[in-house]
Amino acid sequence: MEKQILKVVKIGGKLIEDENKLREFLKDFCALPFPKILVHGGGTMATKLAEKLGYDTKMVDGRRITDANSMKVITMVYGGLINKNIVAKLQAIGTNALGLCGADAGSIVSSKREIKEIDFGFVGDIERVNTSFISSTLQQNITPVFSAISYDGKGELLNTNGDSVAAEIAKAMAGIYDTELYYCFEKKGVLTDVENDESVIEDIDEQLYRQLLNRGIISEGMLPKLQNCFEALNNGVSKIYLGDSNLLKKNAVHTKIVK
């Protein structure tokens, strides 16, 4: 018996801030066949609020250093403002959504990242995903909407890369569903020239990925995104796509990650 297709869709922070693009994207998401899961970031919004509060934001290789003050801002912005706004908008257009972070029903448990060369602070590396809870939610025709926050099982919330959250959910659910992973951000896909939005690479396998890395074409925020893509592809996820807010539309320009 064939597995049912489950689409796991991640939307990035810059798209979330654009009301028009967000509204159009959520319509496209609503039109996707069920079951589906939405994961959202919100880094740019969190950074702006942190600045207003007088907190510095530090990034290393596209990943945020999260001190105690930053974690408070992230919880407010990701788990509160953004998550509940998205859920309200989805409800309004016919998708029965439930806003979640990793602490809810123990859905995403992480360990605090070990200090090696860099102390990332309150950052979580995902250890396990509660597939039975997520499955039961889907079986009730409810669409989970996850913010990029996990927890350690001991009462501590942890900032967790949103791309990693989406990839780990897709990997974990691959035992139950035929999972597909979609990364929606501000670009049409992976570009050979960041200044040229039309320079989209249609297909990337691991060999080409290594070449692009060596040539310095892939850097900063795209690094963890593509690392997650190949790890997911090698761990049961059947299809992975990257593109802009139009990614869920038919015939959209995009990058596909292939073996």
Asked if residue 124 belongs to a known ligand binding site, the reply is no
State the residue for tokens 């990035």: 12
Helix or strand holding residue 228 (H, E): helix 222-233
Asked if residue 64 belongs to a known ligand binding site, the reply is yes
Whether the Cβ atoms of residue 191 and residue 244 lie closer than 8 Å to each other: no
Nearest by Cα to 181 from 123, 121, 243: 243
Q: Which ranges of 115-205 does DSSP label H, i.e. alpha helix? A: 131-139, 162-173
Helix or strand holding residue 208 (H, E): helix 206-214
Calculated CA dihedral for residues 130, 131, 135, 136, nearest 10 degrees: -40
Asked if residue 42 belongs to a known ligand binding site, the reply is yes
Facing residues of 108 across strands? 129
Tokens of 91: 């409800």
Asked if residue 113 belongs to a known ligand binding site, the reply is no
Report angle CA 128, 113, 98 to the nearest 5 degrees.
45
Distance CA 200, CA 203 (A): 9
Q: Which residues participate in the annotated binding site for substrate? A: 42-43, 64, 159
The binding site consists of 42-43, 64, 159
